[in-house]
Amino acid sequence: MFPEIDRFHKWLRCRNPHTSTHVHYKSDVKLFFAWAGKPPASITMHDVDAYVAHCCTLGHAPATVNRRLAALRAFYRFLSIDADDPPPNLVLHRRHAVRKGRRLPRDASDADLDKLFDSITSPRDRAIFSIMLHCGLRVCEVHRLSVANLCLSPLDGLPPSLRVHGKGNAWRTVYLSPEALAAMKAWLAVRQAGDDPALFTGRTGCRLSVDGIQARLGHYCRQAGIWITCHQLRHSFGRRMVEASMPVKSIQRLLGHRRLRTTQTYLYLADRQIQAEYDAAMDHVRRWLAPDAVLP
């Protein structure tokens, strides 16, 4: 493969050391050039057109295609500062981007969540998945947590909280529910103190990896006869907050969304006002259809 891709990967990793963007973008760029079979300087706009058509033919989701285009666009931006005679950036958003429909967050049912937590016996794992469900953390954010991020005895009567290192190198504060707090205290009571500052460690005493967290969830799902992903736990938190009528801007801050419209998609999962209006309308329809109904 072309050496420019390795330099691009190193450049991205230096710019965003706390994210996995460099990993995904390198993979996406390699996929494109493996398909094209040409060096970067030989790529034309029609090659990009054909690649988008190829991805759509394979059934890739619009979000996947657009991410690959973003990776390729970033690669050519890198070449503009890295190469002596850089090729033009022919990836044009208005020409190549695939339109996305509005997709609802995929949450988990409360019944499946009960089955999942009934199968979890490890204090560490119960704490991990409790803060995902009750605090809305991403799996990478759980991976990054250190003991120093815990604030179990805050001042001024504030509830126990976590300082979370999220996307875009942004920090936020989330609060521990009674369930999450009980699970966290149970884990801290048996956690072995060591040199690693990580809150969640594996058998070797080192920080538990993202893959390790996902593998543990898969293990419990197989035991419970269900399937739930880490991100579905986060989506379930968002859905529950909407059901509890929390203001959407507060949900945005707890979830660490940069854009309010991202948080607003949870309103389509559970909107109490719409549900109440629907129930009232259906009650009216039922009374209207009843043969002896007397309408007000």
pLDDT one-digit tens code per residue, 182-233: 999 999 999 987 778 999 998 888 899 999 999 999 999 999 999 999 999 9
| Amino acid (one-letter) located at 265 | T
Residue 273 has pLDDT above 60, yes or no: yes
Position 174 scores a pLDDT of 96
Does the annotation count 24 as an active-site position? no
Q: Which of 25, 51, 76, 266 is catalytic?
A: 266
**CATH class (in words) of the domain with range 110-268:** mainly alpha
Does the annotation count 138 as an active-site position? yes
Bridge partners (DSSP) listed for residue 175: 161
How far apart CA 262 and CA 250 sit, in angstroms, is 13
Position 157 scores a pLDDT of 76
Q: How confident is the model at residue 274 (pLDDT cuts 50, 70, 90)?
A: confident
Q: Which of 26, 115, 138, 240 is catalytic?
A: 138
Overall residue count recorded for the chain in this entry: 296
How far apart CA 242 and CA 124 sit, in angstroms, is 28
Q: By mean pLDDT, which of 20-29, 30-39, 155-164 is the weakest?
A: 155-164
CATH T-level assignment (fold) for domain 3-96: DNA polymerase; domain 1 (1.10.150)
Does the annotation count 18 as an active-site position? no
How far apart CA 163 and CA 288 sit, in angstroms, is 55
Residue 295 has pLDDT above 90, yes or no: no
Q: Which of 60, 77, 191, 231 is catalytic?
A: 231
Q: 38 Cβ partners below 8 Å, 6+ apart?
A: 47
Q: By mean pLDDT, which of 25-39, 60-74, 101-115, 135-149 is the weakest?
A: 101-115
Whole-structure pTM value: 0.74
Q: How confident is the model at residue 20 (pLDDT cuts 50, 70, 90)?
A: confident
Q: Which of 167, 185, 191, 219 is catalytic?
A: 167
Residue 293 has pLDDT above 70, yes or no: no
Position 291 scores a pLDDT of 63
Q: Which of 73, 96, 234, 240 is catalytic?
A: 234
Mean pLDDT, range 155-181, rounded to an integer: 90
Q: How confident is the model at residue 143 (pLDDT cuts 50, 70, 90)?
A: very high
The percentage of residues in the chain with a pLDDT greater than 90, rounded to a whole number, is 66
Please check whether residue 237 is in contact with residue 135, taking contact to mean a CB–CB distance below 8 angstroms: yes
Where in the chain are the domains? 3-96, 110-268
Q: What is the CA radius of gyration of the chain?
A: 24
The percentage of residues in the chain with a pLDDT greater than 70, rounded to a whole number, is 96
Residue 294 has pLDDT above 60, yes or no: no
Does the annotation count 115 as an active-site position? no
Residue 11 has pLDDT above 70, yes or no: yes
| Amino acid (one-letter) located at 90 | L
